[in-house]
Amino acid sequence: MTVRLLTNIGRLWTGVELISNAAIVMHDGIIVWVGPAADLPQSIPGVIDHIADAEIDNAGGALVTPGLIDAHTHPVYAGNRFAEISARSDGASQSDIVAAGGGVASTVTVTRGTDPWTLCNDVRDRLRHWLLWGTTTVEAKTGYHLTRDGELADVRLLRSLEEEPGMPRLHVTFFAAHAVPPEYFGRHRDYVQAVGSWLGDAAQAGADGVDVYCDNRQFTTEDARWLLSLGRSVGLKTRLHACSKPRHGAVRMAADLQCDSVDLLHETDDEDVLALAKTATPVVVCPTASLSERREPPVRTLLDHRVPVALGTDHNPAQSGTTMMSLIVCMAIGLYRMSVLEALRAATVGGAQALGLTDRGVIAPGRAADVVQWDADHEGAFAWAYGLKAMRVWRDGEPIR
């Protein structure tokens, strides 16, 4: 395997510390050495006898970070909802939009009617953009077929795309509990039971986790507890769209279950924060959703209570079309009053924590060689560029062309 030396790094954010004038040695898909360039060894036992024989990539004094991690996305869908988005901006309520044929059900209808080849190409193009923008790991949810066969096919689709060249790593989340489909109208409980019966198949198909949209208009806290507990019993990591008001107890239920992540948290209170702090349950926040909903989670309070925080684009057809985690970092700095390094940590280390991944998010020996060189010489550029450009991306130690 090629030994690759990335040198002349002006500033390196490892996920733990900043190092000036740094170097990284990558081999067989992992980091084998990192530190100040002045300390670069002449050989690395078991890896290379003469470091001068390594393939050299010159960062030209640029900023380098771990590959970013997007901890919340919905990339498997067909069509768009631009008309609905326009109507919402003009004051239409959610009930108005649903009455006009919009909402999740409209995307479900279009996605079900799209041939698998076209859907695959659409998803492939989206995932490719994530990687080119410096995101090397993407949490990717299903949730727009809402049938057993359709949701399982989406899991297999994501797994097959991950194996293609130029794709990010994927953490696949089974999200059949996104909404109750039209054919189950008036039979909410039947659909919950059906989703529960699919979870074992989802795990076998390659899903990593299960998510439930916990809201008084979709799935209740009791529904979520049952589905998440069942998902955990078949080996799935547990996630929760905690969109309901505090009185419904969704966040505290998720903390009690010690879910792998609790996402969004636009409706929460101090008791929720304390419950999360006691269990160190990671929280995923999405600035695009906060802007769309005109509500924001108590990020500063969460950080002050040492709750792990991760960031996500919340890419979906109704609210957020971005695949740029560098934009999300910038938005988090402004909207949530995070420091640059707090936001970068949330987009790297925090994302790894939320997805239960121990092999990435940090540039350190033994970790995955997922590395990004940015079009800047200082991390402060993330707060200025509103979408800092990734100049070069390495996944598994190999440059993405």
CATH number of the domain that 160 lies in? Answer: 3.20.20.140
Long-range contact set of residues 391-395: C-beta below 8 Å, sequence gap at least 24 = 391/62, 392/57, 393/67, 393/131, 393/132, 393/134, 393/136, 394/4, 394/6, 394/26, 394/57, 394/67, 394/369, 394/370, 395/67, 395/131, 395/136, 395/168, 395/169, 395/369, 395/370
- Residue 220 is predicted with a pLDDT of 93
What is d(CA 116, CA 133) in angstroms, rounded to the nearest whole number?
26
Number of domains forming the structure of the chain: 2
74 plus 217 within the same structural domain: yes
Are 347 and 378 contained in the same domain? no
| pLDDT at res. 93 | 82
Residues 124/136, Cβ–Cβ less than 8 Å: no
Query: Tell me, what's the pLDDT at 199?
Result: 98
Element (H, E) at 190: helix 188-205
Whether residue 141 sits in one domain with residue 80: yes
Q: Are residues 73 and 222 in the same domain?
A: yes
Q: Residue 94: how many CA atoms within 13 Å on its side-chain side?
A: 8
| Bridge partner residues of 58 (DSSP) | 7
| Alpha carbons 270 and 212: distance in angstroms, whole number | 23
Work out whether the CA dihedral 163, 392, 383, 377 comes out positive or negative.
positive
Residues 161 and 269 in one domain: yes
**Who contacts 271 (Cβ-Cβ below 8 Å, separation ≥6)?**
246, 252
What was the pLDDT predicted at 99? 80
Handedness of CA 146, 149, 154, 155 (dihedral sign): positive
One domain, residues 163 and 298? yes
Q: What span, in angstroms and rounded, lies between the C-alpha atoms of 153 and 195?
A: 15
What is the domain-level CATH number for residue 55?
2.30.40.10
Q: What pTM was computed for the model?
A: 0.96
- Distances, alpha carbon 132 to alpha carbons 137, 392, 399, in Å: 12, 8, 11
Task: Give the number of other CB atoms < 10 A from CB of residue 116.
Answer: 11
CB 362 within 8 A of CB 30: no
pLDDT at 397: 95
Longest distance between any two alpha carbons in the chain, whole Å: 70
Token pair of 387 as six digits: 């979408």
- Find where tokens 């996402």 sit: 263
Task: Give per-residue burial for 36-51: e unless 16+ CB within 10 Å, then b.
Answer: ebeebeeebeebbeeb
Determine contact, residues 347/328, Cβ cutoff 8 Å.
Answer: yes
pLDDT tens, the chain, 401 aa long: 689 999 999 999 999 999 999 999 999 999 999 999 999 999 999 999 999 999 999 999 999 999 999 999 999 999 999 999 898 888 888 788 888 788 899 999 999 999 999 999 999 999 999 999 999 999 999 999 999 999 999 999 999 999 999 999 999 999 999 999 999 999 999 999 999 999 999 999 999 999 999 986 789 999 999 999 999 999 999 999 998 777 678 999 999 999 999 999 988 889 999 999 999 999 999 999 999 888 899 999 999 999 999 999 999 999 999 999 999 999 999 999 999 999 999 999 999 999 999 999 999 999 999 999 999 999 999 999 999 999 999 999 999 97
Point out which residues pair with 12 in neighbouring strands. Answer: 19, 64
48 and 110 assigned to the same domain: no
Cα–Cα distance between 303 and 126 in angstroms, integer? 31
**Contact (CB, 8 A) for 296 and 360:** no
**How many Cβ atoms are within 10 Å of 180's Cβ, its own excluded?**
23
Same domain, 199 and 300: yes
| Same domain flag for 235 and 165 | yes
Round to whole Å and give the CA distance between 255 and 199: 21
Determine how β-strand 63-66 pairs with β-strand 3-13: parallel
162 and 183 belong to one structural domain: yes
Residues 384 and 318 in one domain: no
Q: What are phi and psi of 360, to 5 degrees?
A: -150, 180
Do 143 and 167 sit in the same domain of this protein? yes
Q: How far, in Å, CA of 180 to CA of 76, rounded?
A: 17
> Which residues lie closer than 8 Å to 280 by C-beta, 6 or more apart?
306, 307, 308
Query: Domain range holding 115?
Result: 68-355
